[in-house]
Amino acid sequence: MMPTASRFGPRRAQAGAALLTAMVIVALVATLATSMIWQQWRAVQVEAAERSRVQSAWILSGALDWARLILREDARNGGTDDLGEPWAVPLAEARLSTFLAADTSNTDDAPDAFLSGAITDAQARYNVTNLITAGQIDPVEMAAFQRLCETIGVSADVAATIAADMRDASPVAPPPPGASGTAPAPAATPPANPPLLPRSVSQLSWFGIDPEALHALEPYVVILPEKTFVNVNTASREVLVAAVAGLDLATAERIVQSRQRAPLKSAADLRALAPALPAASFDHIAVGSNFFEVRGRLRLGDAVLEQRSLVQRRGLDVIVLQRERVSSRDPSNI
């Protein structure tokens, strides 16, 4: 009996090793197959997300072109820029297919994409760029900015900090050439480490402005590439108080109510509503605008893409100066 056991022992060990090897190979193949399937699924998801992003960007670009067309036609008609004009009417959220199909019965298979947007007057807000003239703080504009901060409950120290840092961040203009036979006037010495010049209100945080003050300022200020006047036909009463020296909130509210009935055609119309103020108080106001902010929002499934663009109207041309896109998730689907 002993020889028989010794004869079959090695065969059983070999069979067990072969079975174990087969199981290892099967596990390895299953792991590799699972990894390949996951990578393929991931590639499909990335491609779908990229396609959705590109489609959304094209749609928002088309919406921006439509807004530029509206502003161009408004310039062609001339006159003032006020809140009763077509450009000032916001686009409520609507299904995109309603814009693309003449026959609404054929839009059932269209993707659930919803578009909304608005055009706002950038000159309805105080332009922080006005604070600096020839590399120095303009005292008249500084007083206007301080009035704005006081009206909305922001510390005067915030106004002083922004003005000083805007001066330090602004490029120093070259000195005027000296007279014949004399040396040119010396240029102002720039700071050793000047701060960066912000291009949007949110970037004022670079100056160390706390978020609470920045949140309070955001609806009332803007940073434009050049100095501008405030449009009295679109500005809020707080901005009107800042732009017109000596104006109080009650009179500013009366101006807002009056322009709803009929837009102001000139500075003389504004003076008629505040006759007690000197004529010099109305030197920094306008009844039209050249800078506008275009906002577009596209909701596609649970993804939301927003685009904010700053445009400048030069005659009949509308030029895009800045464009910013922000992606997020629809909170209603989370």
Q: In terms of domains, do 199 and 322 share one?
A: no
Domain total in the chain: 2
Provide CB contacts within 8 A for 143, sequence distance 6+. Answer: 245
Q: Would you list the DSSP string of 158-188?
A: HHHHHHHHHHHHSPPPPPPPPPTTSPPPPPP
Q: Does residue 179 surpass a pLDDT of 50? A: no
- Mark whether 326 and 269 lie in a shared domain: no
The predicted model scores a pTM of 0.77
User: 100 or 291: whose pLDDT is higher?
Assistant: 291
Residues 268 and 136 in one domain: yes
* 276 and 303 together in one domain: no
Split at pLDDT 50, 70, 90, the class of 181 is: very low
Region 304-332 average pLDDT: 83
Residues 235 and 301 in one domain: no
Query: Looking at the structure, do residues 119 and 208 belong to the same domain, yes or no?
Result: no
- How would residue 327 be classed by pLDDT, with cut points 50, 70 and 90? low
What are the angstrom distances between the C-alpha of 57 and each of 198, 223, 278, 301? 25, 25, 50, 15
Considering the domain architecture, whether residues 216 and 246 belong to the same structural domain is answered as: yes
The letter for the amino acid at 326 is V
Domain containing 232 equals 126-173+191-286
Residue 72 lies in a domain: yes
Mean pLDDT of 317-331: 79
Query: pLDDT grade, residue 145 (50/70/90)?
Result: very high
How does pLDDT run across 81-127, given as a tens digit for each residue? Answer: 999 999 999 988 888 776 665 555 555 555 678 889 999 999 999 99
Contacts of residue 134, Cβ cutoff 8 Å, sequence gap at least 6: 173
The answer to whether residue 183 sits within a structural domain is: no
Residue 131 within any structural domain of the chain: yes
Q: Do 234 and 131 belong together in one domain?
A: yes
Is the residue at 31 inside a domain? no
Instruction: Phi first, then psi: give them for residue 79, nearest 5 degrees.
Output: 85, -165
Is 70 in contact with 318 (CB distance < 8 Å)? no
Same domain, 149 and 94: no
Residues 161 and 226 in one domain: yes
**18-50 tens-digit pLDDT:** 778 888 888 888 888 888 888 887 877 777 667
| Residue 255 in domain | yes
Boundary (domain end) residue, out of 286, 308, 323: 286
Asked if residue 21 is part of any domain, the answer here is no
What average pLDDT score do residues 236-261 get? 94
Domain shared by 82 and 116, yes or no = yes
Judged against a pLDDT cut of 80, whether residue 333 lies above it is answered with no
Residue 20 falls inside a structural domain:
no
CATH of the domain at 90: 3.30.1300.30
Question: Is 283 a residue whose pLDDT tops 80?
Answer: yes
Buried b / exposed e over 293-324, threshold 16 CB at 10 Å, is: bbbbbbbbeebbbbbebbbbbeeeebeeeeee
* Pair 79, 196 in one domain: no
Residue 1 binned pLDDT confidence (cut-offs 50, 70, 90): very low
Residue 42 lies in a domain: no
Amino acid in position 218: E
Query: Does 320 score more than 50 pLDDT?
Result: yes
**What integer pLDDT is reported at residue 6 of this predicted model?**
55
Model confidence at 141: pLDDT above 80: yes
pLDDT at 173 over 90: no
pLDDT tens per residue, range 183-215 = 444 545 556 667 788 999 999 999 999 999 999
